[in-house]
Structure 1
Amino acid sequence: MKKYSNTKATLAIAKASFRAILRSPSAVVFTLAFPLIFIVVFANIGGGGVSVDVGVAKGCDTSGRFYQQLKSRKLVNLITDQSTEDMNKNLAKGQIDAILDLKPLVPMQPLEVSVQYSKASGKGEILKSILNNMFYYVQSAELAKIQAYSPLKIPEAVHLKETTVSGRAYKYIDFILPGQLGFSILSSGVFGTAFVFLSLRLTLVIKRFFATPVKRYSIVLGEALARMCFSLLGALFIILVGHYLFGFTLIHGVVTVLNMLVLSAFGLIIFMGFGFIISGIAKNEGTVPPLSNIITMPQFLLSGTFFSVTAFPKWLQYVSNALPLTHLNNAMRLVAFEGAGLGDVTHQLLILLIWLVIVYAVAVKTFKWE
């Protein structure tokens, strides 16, 4: 008699489950359609309202009138909480538009102003216009002091030193696509897993499996393999569409794509754990969406999926930085645009690993077979 193979059983379950996923409209919508729609919309409208992000150099005179006037301009967002190294890196990437340095005002001397613009940013001209407008009023004030009829030479009120730093442009698609990829993986892992295993339990399919030689791990592993294959194919599709249609940056080409897929797989394993928890505590299919939304909605909104976490108040940033999707999105962006390898995102991977342990410890306690 031929020996029964659980490996073949696992692959058969995976194949059947993969076909079922392809036939599921909700799986296609959440994994592919929604992320692509958001990518198309955000890639074409950019990051929303116009503002100029200006880094404030260390040692800059922030007590003077000129700085306070610049701070009051609605179009100018002054950044003071970054190190010099981080500001220089972000300037080269175009993540900030300029770095400003004001020297303390010396009596009878012009105000010393240094501005570094980013070639990778398209907003330098906006800041130049704002500064020139402010300089005009400063110079006019000096002119008023001297009087129009005075034979004295009008002193220079502001001495401006401008430089431009070249770098690779950081497009909005470089921010939005990793977030939408995380959106896709989170949706697939949580909603897909929860609905599938709850349905298998309620329809007594799992109970029928117990009448066969199929091992329990084969059921879980088969379903997980199917979900993994579908999600990674979806991730690859999203990356390629973003790259070829919208110019999404893949700094090391195929190597970057492979690293992003590895991160996607790791994230999916964690989010499937949430799905196992929900399938265990849900009483019926009607309770799956609200339970799933409790897990997914905070991460969709607070994990840098649509806009930067730095836009939130400080207290809310602490919440954002505790969520697993935040660290998955950050790792994706570092790999795609910065060219980081998996060894360079160990901080993000460590936090994701902690989440993995916590989630599956809870899943073991809550998951039900019958």
Structure 2
Amino acid sequence: MNSIRKTLLPITTFVRIDVKRLFRDKVAIFFVFVFPLIFLLVFGTIFGGDNDISFKVALLNNSKSDFAKSFAESSKGDKVLRVDEKITTLDQAKAKMNRGELDATIILPEGFGDVTNGKYPSGEAQLLYDQNNESAGQTLSSVLDGIFKGINSQFVANETPFTVKAQSTATEGLSRFDYTFSGLLGFTLLSLGIFGPTTVFPRLKQRGVLRRYQTTTIKVWQYFTGNVISNAIVGLLAVALMFITALLFFDLDMRGDYFSFATITILGVTMLFGIGLALGGWAKNENQAAPLAQLVTFPMMFLSGVFFPTFLMPELLQKITKFIPLTPVIDGIRMIVTEGRTIFDIGPQLLVIGGWTLIIYIIAFKVFRWE
């Protein structure tokens, strides 16, 4: 019993030291807790709004007909056609389209909506869009075509031999923020696991702290274990803060269970911390550690689905990215949060994480230097 206590005492001591060191360092607090929240707020503001398709347009009514006036008035409250009422001339509209502030301009020419055949109003609206925004222009043209077809049906009775019936799948879709959130968590774990150790360990070496540890009975594995546990605690706190913020401010749709979510988070931060441990443990100073950390993190950020989905990549690259350390972490979090999977449903991801964890810590033990 005493031998177990002696073995665990250095580990628990290092856990307390590391956690206290973090909360005494204002810069570390900023980068661990505040900086990820800034990222979350920025991306949440961008992707957390209304997911419906809409276009910002100018509507210029050059017709005096009652129909044109009615159409222009009803368009002001349209959710798809977001009309900029401040634009009153074609020159203003073109200037804003050139700057990318408008998707298109709808012009109702003179005589639009006049009753010419004595039966019903008619006319042809003009749609202007920038050639660099052709896809939005074509989509908006289809939207307007659908609107006018609905209006035409009120005046002309046409038979419709072919029809289509739309039916919901009865399941709610994901918002863009729900999908992006997993990538932001991956980015947070990556920053915490790699940039932290690659900054702290070289600094401790330069101060001679690790050299003094070496003269004691402390073993490398005890030092590693203490650091891993403290890092996992801090990682859970950082993720919990982001998670609560996402729930309160951006209506995150959490579909999985919290046990699975916490488990994949701990496994992910443990694996990624091993990379930082290997780099920081090998480097003699921060000048060596910083470039190595950037060399490892930047490819993972762009190839692991942090900022955009991996399924958008070429097929060959997708096969490669599956085995990048960060990819199974983000995929696992995404499957739990957005698909309602449990930790037992993400076996392939856990297998890759486990394999990388074993390899990374073997390397970290081999290359670690006390000074």
TM-score where L is the length of structure 2: 0.66
Give, in whole Å, the separation in 1 of the partners of 2:139 and 2:172. 20
1:7: how far off?
Answer: 2.1
Q: By how many angstroms is 1:155 displaced?
A: 8.2
1:145-165 per-residue CA deviation (whole Å, 9 max, x = no partner) reads: xxxxxxxx9886864443333
Letter in 1 for 2:217: P
Give the CA deviation at 1:190: 0.9
Where in structure 2 are there 5+ consecutive unaligned residues? 54-137, 150-156
Contact 1:27/1:188, CA 8 A, preserved across alignment: no
Shift of 1:187: 0.9
Match of 1:354 in 2: 355
Deviations 1:154-179 (A, max 9, x none): 88686444333321231222112221
Correspondence list, 1:101-180, <5 A: 130=142, 133=145, 159-180=163-184
Cα deviation, residue 346, structure 1: 0.6
Give the letter aligned to residue 286 of structure 2: E
**Residue matched to 2:212:** 208
C-alpha spacing 1:181/1:228, structure 2 compared with 1 (3 Å) = same
Once the two structures are superposed, what CA deviation does each residue of 1:163-204 show, in whole Å capped at 9, x if it has no partner? 333212312221122211111111111111222222222322
Does the CA-based 8 Å contact 2:48-2:175 persist in structure 1?
A: no
**In structure 2, how many angstroms separate the alpha carbons of the residues matched to 1:214 and 1:363?**
17
- Is 1:277–1:362's contact at 8 Å kept on the other side of the alignment? yes
CA displacement 1:66-115 (0-9 Å, x = unmatched): xxxxxxxxxxxxxxxxxxxxxxxxxxxxxxxxxxxxxxxxxxxxxxxxxx
Larger CA Rg, structure 1 vs 2: 2
Percent sequence identity over matched residues?
27
Deviations 1:28-84 (CA, angstroms, capped at 9, x unpaired): 333322322222122222289x998xxxxxxxxxxxxxxxxxxxxxxxxxxxxxxxx
Separation of aligned partners in 1, 2:203 and 2:185: 26
CA contact (8 A) 2:202 2:280 kept: yes
In 2, Cα distance between the equivalents of 1:358 and 1:132?
58
1:313 CA displacement: 2.9
Q: Report the Cα distance in structure 2 between the residues aligned to 1:296 and 1:263, rounded to whole angstroms.
A: 20
Structure 1 residue 334, shift from structure 2 partner? 1.1
Q: Output the amino acid matched with 1:33.
A: V
Which residue pairs with 1:297 in the alignment? 298
How far the C-alpha of 1:330 sits from its partner, in A, is: 1.1
User: Once the 2 structures are TM-superposed, how far is the Cα of residue 135 of structure 1 from its aligned partner?
Assistant: 12
Looking at structure 2, the residues matched to 323 and 25 of structure 1 have their Cα atoms a distance apart, in angstroms, of 32
Identify the residue that residue 121 of structure 1 maps to in structure 2: none
**Using the alignment, how far apart are the partners of 2:264 and 2:183 within structure 1?**
13
Alignment-derived partner of residue 107 in structure 2:
none
One-letter identity of the residue aligned with 2:36: P
What is the match of residue 245 of structure 2? 241
Identify if the C-alpha distance between structure 1 residues 47 and 313 changes in structure 2 by more than 3 Å, giving closer, same or farther.
farther
Following superposition of structure 1 onto structure 2, how do residues 224-235 of structure 1 map, counting pairs within 5 Å? 224-235=228-239
Equivalent in 193, 211, 223 of residue 219 of structure 1: 223
**Structure 1 residues 302, 36: closer, same or farther in 2, change over 3 A?**
same
The equivalent of 1:314 in structure 2 is 315
Q: CA deviation at 1:328?
A: 0.8
* Residues 23-102 of structure 1 mapped to structure 2, 5 A cutoff: 23-46=24-47
Matching of residues 258-337 of structure 1 within 5 Å: 258-337=259-338
Query: For the residues of structure 2 that align with 1:163 and 1:130, how far apart are their CA atoms?
Result: 22
Residues 318-327 or 237-246, more deviating? 318-327
Q: CA deviation at 1:236?
A: 1.2
Aligned equivalents of 1:14, 1:47: Cα separation in 2: 37
Which ranges of structure 1 fall in alignment gaps of 5 or more residues?
53-125, 138-152
**Corresponding letter in the other structure for 1:337:** T
For 1:217, give the aligned amino acid: W
* Matched letter for residue 272 of structure 1: F
In structure 2, the residue matched to 1:99 is none
Supply the distance in 2 between the matched residues of 1:130 and 1:157 (Cα, whole angstroms): 22
3-state SS, counterpart of residue 253 of structure 2: coil
* Equivalent position SS for 2:167: strand
Distance 1:154 1:335, change over 3 A: closer
Distance 1:212 1:244 in 2: 48
1:266 deviates by 0.6
Alpha-carbon RMSD across the aligned residues, in angstroms, is 3.3
